[in-house]
Amino acid sequence: MRGPRSLATEVLMLTKGGYMRKLIAVLTLLATPVAIGETVINYDDGSTYTLTEGQEIYISNTRSALFKRQLMKNKDTFFRVQKPWSSRDYVPEPQDPFVVGGHDWCKAYVPWGEGLTFDMITWQKVCDDDNDGKYGCGDTRFNASEDGGVCSS
């Protein structure tokens, strides 16, 4: 009858038989993450387009046209100019013309409209300096603006 073997003895026996290398290879393959990437095209205007499965990219410049081949049932072939791709996944929202913390921005901002954000904290610190929860008479920036004339002294 054999006694219990130590872990080192078990590992040594696996190594001698070549099983350890196979075990490590299998574990490595299972632990390796599968690299699945998306192809995303970023345009100069900030918009993006993500290619779906099976789509391909063809690049041409404005001086040369890209043609698409169409094979007819009677074996005629037509080449048609491919129009530039106009679809987008993301189109950036137009930015408002106000400077964050400026008088017009303070007037237009809706407190707590987006929850607690950096803009909300900026509004509290810069616009609502009398801490009454609204921007108007009593706030230094409002009183100093052209709208400050409506405030009674």
95-146 per-position pLDDT tens digit: 778 888 899 999 999 999 888 999 999 999 999 989 899 998 888 888 888 8
The span from the CA of 67 to the CA of 87, in Å, is 19
**Residue ranges covered by each domain of the chain:** 1-34, 40-81, 103-148
User: For residue 127, which of 152, 150, 109 has the smallest C-alpha distance?
Assistant: 109
pLDDT recorded at residue 76: 93
Q: Max CA-CA distance within the chain?
A: 103
pLDDT of residue 44: 83
Per-residue pLDDT at 153: 59
Half-sphere exposure (Cβ direction) of 42: Cα atoms closer than 13 Å:
1
Q: What is the pLDDT of residue 143?
A: 87
Rounded Cα distance between 136 and 31, Å, is 61
More confident residue, 5 or 134: 134
Is the distance from CB of 24 to CB of 14 less than 8 angstroms? Answer: no
Per residue in 29-81, pLDDT (tens digit) is 676 665 567 788 888 888 888 888 888 888 888 888 888 899 999 999 999 99
Q: Global pTM? A: 0.39
